[in-house]
């Protein structure tokens, strides 16, 4: 037999099949199904199926794998890798999030805040921490009721009472009541704001600053009028203010420190 030519094992480059690259089906990736001509963006990816939505809003599901084009080239669509946690998860208050933690049995100690809106804001930002620590927050109907509440509560060691008061400034009625109540097992702290609304940073609700309302005029109603908001303060609080608060960074530091101080106080046995 004649000797083999050194060129016998060579294959023309055009006849070599190139490996088709794998592409993760990330959200918003534009993909084409050449068999049907359907082009759409990835809107979700399940275990074995990718769902595409075209510019007309039509959605189609396809099995993951080969047979797709991305940017005019064939690809194999694969499910995106699950990203591992970059670090400890944080709660809305900035504390370490305790995944799967059950609410602790409520402590004997309590935190009182001045009104429903105050309680809702504290729950939204510190709710995770309060459940982990077993702390119950209750609204006051008015700071004038505080002496009677403290007398009935009878705070002691292991049964501490913390109170958050609005507009706690030197010489105010609130400050005089706070001085009467604060003791070894009870603590009254407050922020300088007229109302808890002001503890939310103005930029969060889309304003440059909270308006100054003349004394003698209801503050919340005055704010709504000055800003051209609805005259329903309950709606304004729920939709324009509380709904926009995501975490502690949306609140003023004067409130943050006081709430943390109260949680520490009532959880000290």
Q: How confident is the model at residue 43 (pLDDT cuts 50, 70, 90)?
A: confident
* Block residue for tokens 């990835």: 42
Contacts of 224 (CB under 8 A, 6+ apart): 230, 231, 233, 236
Pairing state of beta strands 38-45 and 30-33?
Answer: antiparallel
Dmax (CA) for the chain in angstroms is 115
Q: What is the pTM of this model?
A: 0.66
- Which range, of 11-25, 43-57, 87-101, 173-187, averages the lowest pLDDT? 11-25
Question: Rounded distance, CA 259 to CA 255, Å?
Answer: 6
- Return the sign of the alpha-carbon dihedral for residues 210, 211, 215, 218: negative
Query: Which residues, listed in sequence order, are joined to residue 161 by a DSSP beta bridge?
Result: 110, 186
| Three-point CA angle 228, 213, 243, nearest 5° | 50
Over residues 133-164, the pLDDT tens digits come to 999 999 987 788 888 888 899 999 999 999 99
Distance CA 30, CA 35 (A): 16
Cβ atoms 175, 147 nearer than 8 A = no
Whether 5 has a pLDDT exceeding 70, the answer reads: no
Looking at residue 58, its pLDDT comes to 85
Cβ atoms of 205 and 244 closer than 8 Å? yes
8 Å CB contact between 262 and 151: no
Instruction: State pLDDT tens for residues 164-214.
Output: 998 888 877 788 888 888 889 999 998 999 999 999 999 999 999 999 999
Query: Per-residue pLDDT tens for 220-259?
Result: 999 999 999 999 999 999 999 999 999 999 999 999 999 9
25-34, 53-62, 122-131 — most confident range = 122-131
Residue corresponding to tokens 């060129």: 7
| Tens-place pLDDT, residues 73-116 | 899 999 988 755 555 678 888 888 777 667 678 889 999 998 89
pLDDT score for 7: 46
> What pLDDT shows up at residue 10?
52
- Please give the structure tokens belonging to residue 23: 């592409």
At 17 the pLDDT is 62
Q: Could you tell me which residues are beta bridge partners of residue 63?
A: 49
Distance of CA 5 to the CA centre of its chain: 72
Per-residue pLDDT at 212:
96
CA dihedral of residues 91, 96, 97, 103 (deg, nearest 10): -100
54 vs 64, more confident: 64
């Amino acid at each position: 037999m004649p000797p083999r030519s050194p060129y016998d094992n060579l294959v023309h480059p055009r006849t070599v099949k190139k490996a088709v690259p794998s592409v993760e089906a990330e959200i918003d990736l534009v993909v084409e199904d050449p068999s049907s001509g359907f082009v759409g963006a990835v809107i979700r990816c399940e275990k074995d199926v990718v769902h595409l939505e075209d510019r007309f809003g039509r959605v189609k599901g396809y099995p993951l794998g080969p047979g797709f084009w991305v940017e005019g080239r064939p690809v194999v669509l694969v499910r995106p890798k699950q990203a591992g946690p970059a670090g400890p998860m944080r709660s809305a208050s900035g504390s370490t999030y305790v995944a799967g933690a059950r609410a602790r049995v409520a402590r004997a100690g309590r935190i009182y805040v001045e009104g429903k809106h105050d309680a809702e804001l504290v729950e939204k930002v510190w709710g995770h921490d309060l459940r982990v620590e077993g702390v119950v927050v209750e609204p006051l109907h008015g700071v004038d009721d505080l002496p009677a509440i403290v007398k009935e509560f009878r705070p002691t060691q292991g049964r501490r009472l913390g109170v958050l008061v609005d507009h706690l400034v030197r010489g105010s009625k609130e400050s005089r009541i706070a001085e009467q109540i604060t003791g070894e097992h009870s603590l009254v702290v407050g922020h300088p704001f007229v109302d808890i609304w002001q503890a939310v940073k103005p930029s969060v609700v889309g304003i440059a600053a909270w308006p100054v309302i003349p004394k003698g005029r209801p503050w919340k109603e005055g704010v709504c009028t000055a800003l051209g908001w609805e005259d329903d303060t309950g709606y304004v609080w729920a939709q324009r203010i509380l709904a926009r608060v995501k975490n502690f960074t949306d609140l003023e530091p004067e409130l943050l420190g006081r709430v943390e101080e109260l949680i520490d106080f009532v959880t000290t046995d």
